[in-house]
Amino acid sequence: MTGRVLLVDISNSFVKLAVANNGRIGRVHRLPTRSLKSSQIREIVAGHSLSGTVAASVVPKKNREVDAACGPGVCWIGPDVKLGVGIDYPNPRGIGPDRLANAAGCAAHYGVPAIVVDFGTAVTFDVISAEGNYIGGVIAPGLGALTEYLHDHTALLPLIRLRKPGAAVGRSTEGAMLSGAVHGYRGLVAEIIRQVRREAFPHHRPKVVVTGGDAELIASGLPLFTAVDPLLTLRGLLVVAQLNL
């Protein structure tokens, strides 16, 4: 595939859109999912002569906005499209399209076996075998969801802005919450990776690639990761475009 292709990643909180030209991802636009309109998409692609559109969505009611802006023929990611990885999973249609895109991007750019960690509204761990097959994963609450829960369900705890804590022992309520959130979340991530490695890769050392909004914050304190790649999902969409369009 040559020419320009629109890449669309619809997640629960934000939509990322970018036009790729001959295999290179251009400027990434980030829009709130809740308010996404087809007119916004048309504005982003104005002036581009597109060869096609590839999209992954975990918010199906917003798919119609993409279809309205791009017309028929949008390649929606699912188990029936070519991904560059196989699927060894009991219910392939139960796999989130964004997770399939991450697997495609990881396999193409970093190799297999691998674990992909995506920090979003939920944090997902996706496992790709040494044979290049998606075999399953783990889903846990996202870091933002945990801190918002504390604020929403207590009388005195504030809603904090996530950042690196100054110390493990907090000297204020906010400092204590930051320490619990960031250090505690790093512990959650490290233990899940340890268990996945033990179960799925007893004879291999998988690559561990992380992406998503809180990736830099959590990865900075854990020496576990092969790469931090904020564009991994879009890279996977581009791989699918190259294989299918």
Catalytic sites, residue numbers? 98
Q: 44 by DSSP, 3-state: which?
A: helix
Residues shown for the chain: 245
Q: Per-residue DSSP letters for 174-187?
A: HHHHHHHHHHHHHH
CB atoms within 10 A of CB 89: 15
Residue with tokens 């475009």: 241
Element (H, E) at 193: helix 173-200
Cβ 219 vs Cβ 54: under 8 Å: no
Strand order in the sheet with 75-76: 24-32, 14-21, 4-10, 50-57, 75-76
CA angle at residue 138 from 64 to 117, to 5 degrees?
Answer: 75
Q: 3 by DSSP, 3-state: which?
A: coil
- Report the Cα 239 to chain-centroid distance in Å: 15
How far apart are the C-alpha atoms of 198 and 205, rounded to whole Å?
A: 10
